[in-house]
């Protein structure tokens, strides 16, 4: 009867756990640390790669805007071919009027340029908007990196929790086997308890298989998040699930760090700058733009007489060059006004978001800090309770070795020990996750140093 109670109470303690030990290590796997997994995710994850290309696109837009300052239009066009020969002029036309004359070569070249002189800030505002857009894309990429690092850490700690729980299940199974070898099942247990014992052992094996599949899914997710090949899942080795050494300052310092480091806040500020530049550019569209334009034109056809008469158009023999002042002024006042109002509305919408974001970020930091403090307090309580549970179990084992009649006390101590071990592992997992989420909230990846807890 007591052996059956030992198994059942152990299963009750382990039943809520939904992950367990790892799969057999493959010859293609390697041991990864948390830092290596995050670094791999930063290099290979699809969203990171896409974000980097978006930053490059924004840089290309900025280069295009800066290129508009110096000769935004500088083109050389040329063409060549064959044309019928034509000797003479308008007063002495060719005697052959059939059009079946010999063919000769011709060539044309045309160089055009345009240089902005004064645009009333239009080019400057365009460059400001493009440069702010680069900052927007960079902040978006940084935000993606922070979110990805948080997801990798969650999966990492979940797998460590599974490995620890797997070891706990193995210890429970070993203890059960040791106790069964010490007694005669058929003499100690009734027929009903004997069948309950066998069903309990079967249920324990089924639970181990179920949570093993869940751990396999977690490892597949970590492989995808870290950007590793699907056929080479990472192994974490014999790393213990331990609370990280988190260097957490007071809330006011965290709030200042959040406003200085959070990518979403920097993205909002850069977006406001871009919208402001776009509004200024829309206003400058009302004003004229002055350009210096000109070019060189040259054409030659050796088989045709050069018509030097200025009143005769000759498309095959000419040389000309010139420069002029170009003024560009738009009079579509209603369209320009609509563009200005649209740019103004977009700017004011972002500024309204900024006002709410200030309080939102502060509340987010306070919420994450409160969750961290609660997890830290729970971890401290779980550590103390775990030590007391281990002391109780050791004393119960000593009493059982001295007096086998105290087996019921040993069962109670073992049940409490298993529950406290599970509570402690869950507390460590929750604590590490709250530290990771607090780091994400303040705009950083790591807030901790090396693990400090030694078992």
185-205: pLDDT as tens digits: 545 555 665 565 566 667 667
Please give the tally of structural domains in the chain.
1
Tokens of 281: 């550019």
Pairing of strands 103-118, 289-300: antiparallel
Q: Which alpha helices (H) appear in 113-250, and where do they start and end? A: 122-182, 185-188, 191-225
Could you tell me if 284 and 125 are in contact, meaning their C-beta atoms sit under 8 angstroms apart? yes
Residue 453 lies inside a defined structural domain of this protein: no
- Is 168 a member of any domain? yes
Cα–Cα distance for residue pair 87/108, rounded to 1 Å: 19
Is residue 352 in a domain?
yes
Beta bridge partners of 322: 295
Looking at every residue in the chain, the average pLDDT score rounds to 84
pLDDT tops 70 at residue 2: no
Tell me the C-alpha distance between 51 and 337, whole Å: 35
Return the higher-pLDDT residue of 28 and 162: 162
- Pairwise pLDDT comparison (125 vs 5), residue with the higher score: 125
Task: State the pLDDT confidence band at 24, using cuts at 50, 70 and 90.
Answer: very low
**203 in any annotated domain:** yes
The DSSP letter of residue 22 is P
Residues 447 and 243: beta-carbon distance below 8 Å = no
Q: In the structure, what pLDDT confidence band is assigned to residue 21 with cuts at 50, 70 and 90? A: very low
What is the percent of the chain with per-residue pLDDT over 90, rounded to a whole number?
A: 57
Percentage of the chain lying above the pLDDT 70 cut: 81
**Which domain CATH number covers 103?**
1.20.1600.10
DSSP assignment of 280-291:
HHHHHTTS-EEE
Judge whether 447 lies within some domain.
no
Residues in the chain: 455
Q: Is residue 452 part of a domain?
A: no
Looking at residue 18, what is its pLDDT?
43
What pLDDT shows up at residue 183? 54
Q: What pLDDT shows up at residue 300?
A: 95
With DSSP H G I counted as helix, E B as strand and the rest as coil, what are the percentages for the chain, rounded to 5? 65, 15, 25
Its sign, for the CA torsion 97, 99, 100, 102, is positive
Question: Can you tell me whether residue 294 is helix, strand or coil?
Answer: strand
pLDDT digits (tens, 9 = 90+) for 390-422: 898 888 777 766 665 555 566 677 778 878 888
Of 213, 178, 243, 222, the residue nearest 21 (C-alpha): 213
Measured between its terminal Cα atoms, the distance across the chain in Å is: 34
Q: Is the pLDDT of residue 16 over 70?
A: no
Q: Is residue 451 part of a domain?
A: no
Q: Is residue 279 over pLDDT 60?
A: yes
Half-sphere exposure of residue 186, counting CA atoms within 13 Å on the CB side? 0
Q: Could you read off the pLDDT of 47-77 as tens digits, one per residue?
A: 999 999 999 999 999 999 999 999 999 999 9
Phi, psi torsion values for 69, nearest 5 degrees: -75, -35
pLDDT for the residue 187: 52
pLDDT digits (tens, 9 = 90+) for 205-233: 776 777 787 788 888 899 999 988 888 88
Q: Are 445 and 240 in contact (CB under 8 A)?
A: no
**What is the reported pLDDT for 26?**
43
Please indicate, yes or no, if residue 132 is contained in any of the structural domains: yes
The 8-class DSSP code of residue 303 comes to T
Helix axes 263-284, 333-402, angle to 10 degrees: 180
The per-residue pLDDT for 311 is 81
Output the CA–CA distances (angstroms, integers) from residue 100 to 83, 86, 94, 97, 303, in the order listed: 11, 11, 12, 8, 14
Asked which of 80-94, 188-202, 388-402, 429-443 is least confident by mean pLDDT, the reply is 188-202
| Domain housing 7 | 2-442
């Amino acid at each position: 009867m007591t052996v059956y109670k030992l198994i059942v109470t152990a299963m009750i303690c382990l039943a809520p756990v939904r992950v367990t030990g790892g799969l057999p290590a493959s010859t293609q796997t390697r041991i990864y640390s948390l830092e290596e997994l995050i670094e791999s995710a930063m290099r290979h994850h699809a969203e990171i790669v896409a974000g980097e290309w978006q930053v490059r696109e924004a840089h290309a837009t900025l280069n295009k805007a800066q290129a508009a300052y110096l000769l935004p239009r500088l083109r050389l066009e040329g063409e060549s071919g064959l044309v019928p020969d034509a000797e003479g002029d308008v007063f002495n036309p060719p005697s052959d009027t059939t059009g079946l004359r010999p063919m000769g070569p011709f060539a044309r070249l045309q160089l055009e340029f345009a240089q902005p002189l004064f645009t009333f800030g239009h080019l400057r505002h365009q460059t400001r908007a493009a440069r702010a857009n680069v900052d927007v894309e960079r902040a978006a990429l940084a935000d993606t990196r922070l979110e990805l690092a948080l997801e990798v850490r969650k999966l990492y700690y979940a797998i460590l929790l599974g490995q620890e729980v797997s070891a706990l299940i193995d210890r429970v199974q070993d203890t059960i086997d040791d106790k069964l070898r010490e007694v005669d099942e058929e003499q100690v247990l009734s027929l009903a308890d004997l069948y309950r014992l066998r069903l309990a052992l079967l249920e324990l094996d089924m639970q181990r298989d179920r949570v093993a599949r869940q751990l396999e899914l977690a490892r597949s997710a970590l492989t995808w998040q870290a950007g590793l090949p699907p056929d080479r899942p990472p192994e974490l080795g014999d790393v213990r699930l331990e609370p990280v050494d988190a260097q957490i300052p007071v809330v006011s310092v965290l709030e200042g760090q959040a406003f200085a480091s959070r990518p979403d806040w920097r993205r909002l500020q850069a977006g406001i700058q871009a919208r402001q530049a776009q509004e200024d550019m829309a206003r400058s569209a009302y004003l004229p733009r002055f350009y210096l334009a000109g070019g060189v034109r040259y054409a030659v056809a050796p088989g045709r007489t050069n018509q030097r008469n200025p009143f005769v158009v000759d498309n095959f023999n000419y040389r000309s060059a010139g420069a002029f002042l170009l003024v560009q002024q738009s009079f579509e006042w209603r369209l320009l006004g609509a563009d200005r109002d649209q740019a103004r509305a977009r700017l004011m919408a972002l500024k309204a978001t900024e006002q709410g974001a200030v309080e939102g970020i502060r509340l987010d930091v306070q919420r994450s800090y409160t969750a961290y403090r609660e997890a830290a307090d729970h971890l401290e309580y779980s550590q103390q309770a775990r030590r007391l549970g281990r002391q109780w179990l050791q004393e119960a084992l000593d009493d059982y070795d001295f007096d086998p009649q105290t087996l019921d006390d040993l069962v109670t101590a073992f049940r409490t020990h298993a529950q406290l071990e599970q509570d402690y592992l869950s507390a460590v997992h929750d604590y590490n996750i709250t530290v990771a989420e607090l780091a994400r909230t303040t705009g950083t990846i790591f807030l901790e140093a090396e693990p400090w807890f030694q078992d």
